[in-house]
Structure 1
Amino acid sequence: MINFSNEEMLRFFLENSDDIMVILNEEMETVFLSPSFEKVFQKPLEETLGRKFNEVLINFPSLPLMKPNQKMVIPVVLKELKKSLMLEFQFKPIQVKDRPGRFIFAIGRDVTERELVLKKFKDIAFKEKELNQMKSRFVSMASHEFKTPIATIVSSVMIMQMLLDKDFSDEIKVKLLGHIDKIINQSNRLTSIMSDVLLLEKSIQQDMKLNLKKISIGKFLESLIHDINEENLNRRTVRFFQPQSDKQILTDESMLVHIIRNLIQNALNYSPESSDPEVHLSIIGNFVEIRIKDYGIGIPREEHENIFGSFYRAKNVGNIKGTGLGLNIVQELTKKLKGEIWFKSKEGMGSEFFVSFPVK
C-alpha cells in the first residue's frame, strides 16, 4: 500500500484535474492558478499570475458582481487557437492564513458542449412554439378568409341556377356574367391564399434553391413598376425615383419580383385615398437600397414588433383584404437573397419599407 502525503495528494489532483482553479485578491489580481489553465489556454502560468484576471478573460465579472456559490457561464475566445469556449465558474469568498484582506476562490470548467446542446434545444423549443403559434394563426385566418369567398361562390352558383330556369333576357345575361365574375374573383382569391401558404413553406426551407444571375437594379425596377402601373389601369400611379448611375446585383429575379411587387401592392392597398406611393432607389456604398413609401393608414406603434409575423395583420386594416402572410414571406425571401428589410411607420401618416442588397 502506497501512502501519499497531503502535499503529494494535492499536487496529484491539481495536475490531473480539468477544472480551472483560481484565487484572486481584492484587486482582481491572480494569486494562484491551477495547471489546467495552461492546458486550456495554451499560455504559461507565469504570464497570468499577478495580472488582473478580468483582463486575461475579458468577460470575467468584476469582484462586486461575484456572489457566494454563484455560477456564471462566460464566453471565451481563444484567438491564437481560433476557437471559442464556454466556461462555467463558481465563486466562493475565502480567508487565506496569515494574509489579510478578502480573497475569492473561483473554480471553472469547460461547458461548451453542454451549452451548445442547450442552445440547440432552446432553438428547437422556440421554433416549435413559433410553429404552434403559426398553426393557430393559420387556422384562425383560414376559417375567416376562406369563409367569405366560399360563401360568395356558393351563393353565386345558386343564383345562376335560379336564373337558368328563366328566359335568357339581356338583364339575366348581365346578372349571370356578374356572378361568373364573382366566382372567378373569389376562386382567384382562394388560389392566392394557398399560393402564399405554399410559398411561405418553401421560403423557410434551408435547402431552397436559388436561380442567381446579375441584373441591373434600376432597369429591373423601372420595368416592374411600369407593369404594375399598367395592371392598375392608371387608377393609381407608383412614382419611381432613381440615381443617374445604375448598379448590378446578383439575385434570384423571381424572388426579387415577389418582394418588390408585394411591398408596392401593400403601399397601394393601405393608402387608398392618399397620394400616390413612391419607390426610391439609392446606391449606398456596396449596397443598393430600395425604399417603398406610402401616405396611407400606417402601422400602430405597439404592433411594429409583430408586423413580420406569420398570419399577423394590424388592427387598423379594416376591410382591406389580406392573409397576413405577405410581409413574412417578403422577410424570408429577403434573407435568402442575403438582404435586409426594415421599416418606419406612424399610424395615420403612412409607412416606409426599406430593402437592401449587396452589390456584386
Structure 2
Amino acid sequence: MQALGADMYPIRNTIMQAMDSVALKAANKDIEIIATEEISDVKVYHNFKWTREVFENILENAIKYSPCKSIIKISIEQLETYTKISIEDSGIGIRDEEYVKIFQRFYRSKDVENAEGSGIGLYLCRLILENEKGSITVKSQYGKGSVFSVFLLNSIPQQQK
C-alpha cells in the first residue's frame, strides 16, 4: 500500500495549485511569489492533495511573517535520489535555539505567539512528508528570513513497488 495514496506525479501542478490557493493573501500584502527558474514537470513520489497542503502551509507562513512588498522565491533542484523544492522568504526568521522545536506539535515561538495560528502546520508538514518517505528542513537567519526545503523521492520507494 502506498503512503497516503502517493505515486509518481508532476510536481509542477502541485506547486502551482498551492501558489494559486495563497495568491489572495500574498496580494493583500503586495507580496510576489516567483519561481527562480521554470518549474519543470519532473515527476516525484508524492500525494497531490497532501503535498499541496505542505506547500500551502509553508507559503502561508512565508506570507504571514514577511513584510509587505517583499518577494517569496521558489526553486527546484533535482538531486540523485530526491528533488529539492525550496521556498525562501524575507520574514522574521527563526532563532537558532528554535530550529529543533518548530516541527513539534503546537510549538509557537515567543516572537509570534500573538499572531494567528495554532502551531500545528509545520508539524503536519513533517508528518505528511515522512509518510511519503520525504523530509523537510529549514535554514534561517533571525531577522532576515528563512528557506524551507522539501525533499521528495524521484522514484517509488522499494517497499512500495
Matched, 1:232 2:25: yes
Equivalent in 7, 17, 20 of residue 213 of structure 1? 7
CA distance in 2, matches of 1:343, 1:238: 18
Question: Following superposition of structure 1 onto structure 2, how do residues 118-157 of structure 1 map, counting pairs within 5 Å?
Answer: none
Contact 1:242 1:282 in 2 (8 A): no
Please state which structure has a larger fraction of its residues in helix. Answer: 1
CA distance in 1, matches of 2:149, 2:13: 19
Question: Following superposition of structure 1 onto structure 2, how do residues 181-260 of structure 1 map, counting pairs within 5 Å?
Answer: 210-229=4-23, 231-232=24-25, 234-235=27-28, 236-243=31-38, 245-260=40-55
Which of these two proteins has the greater Rg computed from alpha carbons? 1
Contact 2:32 2:70 in 1 (8 A): no
Question: Following superposition of structure 1 onto structure 2, how do residues 95-106 of structure 1 map, counting pairs within 5 Å?
Answer: none
CA distance in 1, matches of 2:101, 2:43: 33
Counterpart in the other structure of 1:320: 115
With the length of structure 2 as denominator, give the TM-score of the two structures.
0.84
Q: In structure 1, the residue corresponding to 2:27 is in which secondary structure?
A: coil
RMSD value, Cα = 2.2
Contact 1:249 1:359 in 2 (8 A): yes
Q: 1:30-55: CA deviations, max 9, x gaps?
A: xxxxxxxxxxxxxxxxxxxxxxxxxx
Instruction: Tell me: CA distance 1:227–1:328, structure 2 relative to 1, closer, same or farther (3 Å).
Output: closer
Amino acid of the structure 1 residue aligned with 2:8: K
Deviation at 1:243?
4.5
Deviation at 1:338?
0.4
- Is there any run of 5+ residues in structure 1 with no aligned partner, and where? 1-206
Identical amino acids, percent of aligned pairs: 27
Counterpart in the other structure of 2:84: 289
Instruction: Tell me: CA distance 1:233–1:293, structure 2 relative to 1, closer, same or farther (3 Å).
Output: closer
Question: Following superposition of structure 1 onto structure 2, how do residues 40-79 of structure 1 map, counting pairs within 5 Å?
Answer: none
Counterpart in the other structure of 2:158: none
Amino acid of the structure 1 residue aligned with 2:122: L
CA distance in 2, matches of 1:208, 1:314: 35
Amino acid of the structure 2 residue aligned with 1:219: N
Contact 2:12 2:41 in 1 (8 A): yes
Q: Which moved more, 1:278-287 or 1:217-226?
A: 217-226
Contact 1:270 1:320 in 2 (8 A): no
Contact 1:218 1:281 in 2 (8 A): no
With the length of structure 1 as denominator, give the TM-score of the two structures.
0.40
Amino acid of the structure 2 residue aligned with 1:280: S
Contact 1:210 1:252 in 2 (8 A): yes
